[in-house]
């Protein structure tokens, strides 16, 4: 059978496929990457709730507004600084590394001599 020609062939040749560039790139919003957007959003929600509670409690607006604005500025500055310092996954790695001990010290060899060989590794053991 002969290949199709004419208008059908012209249509197939002119199809342009869209390439999804940046599929694996992290989410970015105004310089904040990944989880820092969530941290900023959570902090802003806490500030909003604290503003409403303090306003309902009767705190004067002259004191309340500068307090909330300064806390909001501090929140935005600290989250932006964390985002710039650690990047997308760096804060999680930093926290995980702090949880690791510097070294492991054993006072006896019993830890190693009492190990049992798994059945799946039995054939690979050199005696």
Helix (H) or strand (E) holding 29: strand 28-29
Residue 12 has pLDDT above 90, yes or no: no
Residue 85 tokens, joined: 């310092």
- On whether the pTM is more than 0.75, the answer is no
> What is the per-residue pLDDT across 76-93, written as a single tens digit (0 to 9) for each?
998 888 888 877 777 778
| Encoded tokens for 52 | 């409403």
d(CA 40, CA 32): 9
CA quadruple 27, 32, 34, 39: dihedral sign = negative
Q: Locate the domains of the chain by residue range.
A: 28-95
Confidence of residue 71 (pLDDT cuts 50, 70, 90): very high
DSSP label at residue 18: P
- Chain CA centroid to CA 83, Å: 10
């Amino acid at each position: 059978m002969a290949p199709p020609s004419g208008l059908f062939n012209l249509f197939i040749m002119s199809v342009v496929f869209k390439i999804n560039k940046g599929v694996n790139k992290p989410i970015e919003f105004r310089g904040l990457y990944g989880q820092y957007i969530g941290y900023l959003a959570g902090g802003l929600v806490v500030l909003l709730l604290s503003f409403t509670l303090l306003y309902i409690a009767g705190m004067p607006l002259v004191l309340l507004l500068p307090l909330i604005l300064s806390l909001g500025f501090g929140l935005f500055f600290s989250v932006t600084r964390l985002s710039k310092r650690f990047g997308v996954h760096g804060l999680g790695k930093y926290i995980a590394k702090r949880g690791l001990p510097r070294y492991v010290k054993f006072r006896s060899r019993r830890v190693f001599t009492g190990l049992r060989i798994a059945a799946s590794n039995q054939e690979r053991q050199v005696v």
